[in-house]
Amino acid sequence: MKKAIFPGSFDPITNGHYDIIKRGISLFDEVIVAIGINAEKKYMFSLEERKRFIEETFKDEPKVRVITYTGLTIDLCAKENAQFILRGLRNPADFEFEKAIAHTNRMLSKIETVFLLTAASTSYISSSIVRDVLRNGGDITNLVPKVVAKKK
């Protein structure tokens, strides 16, 4: 069984994340969306809200499971018997950042990272942009799954 961990803070999940997860489903038997917990980070949405957003978005997709975790992603991969880390790339800066992490993960654990380029239609979306739009009273309907847009 080919399992992939798709790690992130998902604060909140965006249509870009949605696209990567949907495409990952066609590549893997299971995609585990892993919400990382970082005590030093200030989140807009609670952990419970972020988890619920993803679970509701993929409620009809049995190949997607949502969990939370602390610590190293490679340790989570070992615990979940996942052979792959799934990551989305929007731009060259994402690639450079993710490449360094992927090399480190492979050196530490032999885990493979699979990169998917985001769809052109979602390549400009980031959680930080969504949060900024929300903070300023803007419409996020076209940036996030419906369950998140309703939360507004």
Asked whether the beta carbons of 33 and 76 are under 8 A apart, the reply is no
Catalytic residue among 3, 50, 51, 127: 127
**Residue 103 is a catalytic residue:** no
Is 129 labelled as part of a ligand binding site? no
In sequence order, what DSSP letters do the residues of 126-147 get, joined into one string? Answer: -HHHHHHHHHTT---TTTS-HH
Catalytic residue among 22, 65, 90, 151: 90
Is 122 labelled as part of a ligand binding site? yes
Q: Are strands 3-8 and 84-89 parallel, antiparallel or unpaired?
A: parallel
**Residue 127 is a catalytic residue:** yes
**Residue 17 is a catalytic residue:** yes
d(CA 130, CA 138): 9
Tokens read off for 85: 């880390």
Is 121 labelled as part of a ligand binding site? no
Q: How many CA atoms lie within 13 A of 133 on its CB side?
A: 18
Is 98 labelled as part of a ligand binding site? yes
Catalytic residue among 3, 17, 50, 51: 17
Residues involved in catalysis: 17, 41, 90, 127
Question: Which residues are part of a known binding site for ATP?
Answer: 9-10, 17, 88-90, 98, 122-128
Question: Which residues are part of a known binding site for substrate?
Answer: 9, 41, 73, 87
Question: Which residues are part of a known binding site?
Answer: 9-10, 17, 41, 73, 87-90, 98, 122-128
